[in-house]
Structure 1
Amino acid sequence: MARRNVQFRSGKQWCRGWLYLPDEDAPRPPIIVMAHGLGAVIQMRLDAFADRFCDAGYACLVFDYRHFGDSDGTPRQLLSIRRQLDDWAAAIAHARTLDDVDTGRVVLWGSSFGGGHVMVAGARDPKVAAVIAQCPFTSGTASTLALDPISAAKVTARGIADLAGSVIGRKPVTVELAGRAHDAALMTAPDAVDGYLPLVPEDYDFTNAVAARVGLSIPLHHPGRSLTQITCPVLVCVCDHDTVAPPRPTVRYARNGPTTQLIRYPLGHFDIYVGDAFEEVVADQVDFLDRAVPLAGF
Structure 2
Amino acid sequence: MKRENIRFKSQGLECAGWYYKAGNNGKSPCVVLGHGFGGVKEARLDVYAEAFAKAGYNALAFDYRHFGESEGEPRQILDIKKQHQDWHAAIAFARTQEGVDPGKIILWGSSFAGGHVIPVAIKDGKIAAVISQVPNLDGLATARTNGVVHALKLSLAAGRDMLRSVRGKNPYYIPITGEPGDLAAMTAPGARDAVEKLFPDDFEPNENVAARIILHAPLYSPGKLAHKMAMPWLIQAAEHDAVTPVKPAFKAAAKAPKSKLITYKCGHFDVYLAPLFEQVIQDQVTFLKNNVY
- Asked whether the 8 Å contact 1:255–1:262 carries over to 2, the reply is no
**CA deviation string 1:139-167 (max 9, x = no partner):** 11011000143321221001011111111
Please tell me whether residue 47 in structure 1 is matched to residue 50 in structure 2: no
Secondary structure of 1:30's partner? strand
Match of 2:84 in 1: 85
Secondary structure of 2:6's partner? strand
Give the whole-Å Cα distance in 1 for the aligned partners of 2:180 and 2:171. Answer: 23
Please tell me whether residue 288 in structure 1 is matched to residue 255 in structure 2: no
Secondary structure of 1:187's partner? coil
Match of 1:60 in 2: 59
Where do 4+ consecutive residues of structure 1 move more than 6 Å? none
Letter in structure 2 aligned against 1:99:
E
Match of 2:246 in 1: 247
Give the whole-Å Cα distance in 2 for the aligned partners of 1:280 and 1:30. Answer: 22
- Asked whether the 8 Å contact 1:148–1:181 carries over to 2, the reply is no
Q: Give the Å deviation of 1:201.
A: 1.7
Letter in structure 2 aligned against 1:75:
P
Give the whole-Å Cα distance in 1 for the aligned partners of 2:50 and 2:229. Answer: 27
- Asked whether the 8 Å contact 2:179–2:190 carries over to 1, the reply is no
Q: Give the Å deviation of 1:183.
A: 1.5
Letter in structure 1 aligned against 2:9:
R
Q: Give the Å deviation of 1:182.
A: 1.9
Give the whole-Å Cα distance in 1 for the aligned partners of 2:104 and 2:255. Answer: 25
Match of 2:203 in 1: 204
Give the whole-Å Cα distance in 2 for the aligned partners of 1:203 and 1:150. Answer: 36
**CA deviation string 1:183-223 (max 9, x = no partner):** 11110111211211221222112111100000000000001
Please tell me whether residue 238 in structure 1 is matched to residue 237 in structure 2: yes
Match of 1:133 in 2: 132
Match of 1:10 in 2: 10
- Asked whether the 8 Å contact 2:115–2:132 carries over to 1, the reply is yes
**CA deviation string 1:96-128 (max 9, x = no partner):** 111221111100000011101111211111101
- Asked whether the 8 Å contact 1:149–1:182 carries over to 2, the reply is no
Q: Give the Å deviation of 1:31.
A: 0.3
Match of 1:97 in 2: 96
Give the whole-Å Cα distance in 2 for the aligned partners of 1:232 and 1:189. Answer: 33
Secondary structure of 1:161's partner? helix
Letter in structure 2 aligned against 1:105:
K
- Asked whether the 8 Å contact 1:238–1:265 carries over to 2, the reply is yes
Q: Give the Å deviation of 1:27.
A: 2.1
- Asked whether the 8 Å contact 2:45–2:61 carries over to 1, the reply is yes
- Asked whether the 8 Å contact 2:109–2:132 carries over to 1, the reply is yes
Letter in structure 1 aligned against 2:65:
R
Letter in structure 1 aligned against 2:232:
P
- Asked whether the 8 Å contact 1:151–1:181 carries over to 2, the reply is no
Please tell me whether residue 273 in structure 1 is matched to residue 264 in structure 2: no
Secondary structure of 2:234's partner? strand
Please tell me whether residue 71 in structure 1 is matched to residue 79 in structure 2: no
Give the whole-Å Cα distance in 2 for the aligned partners of 1:289 and 1:82. Answer: 28
- Tell me the number of residue pairs that the alignment of Structure 1 and Structure 2 aligns: 293
Give the whole-Å Cα distance in 1 for the aligned partners of 2:214 and 2:154. Answer: 6
- Asked whether the 8 Å contact 1:148–1:189 carries over to 2, the reply is no
Gaps of 5+ in 2: none
Secondary structure of 2:275's partner? helix
Q: Give the Å deviation of 1:26.
A: 2.2
Give the whole-Å Cα distance in 2 for the aligned partners of 1:26 and 1:56. Answer: 13
Letter in structure 2 aligned against 1:21:
K
- Asked whether the 8 Å contact 1:148–1:188 carries over to 2, the reply is no
Q: Give the Å deviation of 1:276.
A: 2.1
Give the whole-Å Cα distance in 2 for the aligned partners of 1:250 and 1:217. Answer: 20
Match of 2:175 in 1: 176
Gaps of 5+ in 1: none
Secondary structure of 1:244's partner? coil
Q: Give the Å deviation of 1:176.
A: 1.1
TM-score (norm 2): 0.98
Secondary structure of 1:253's partner? helix
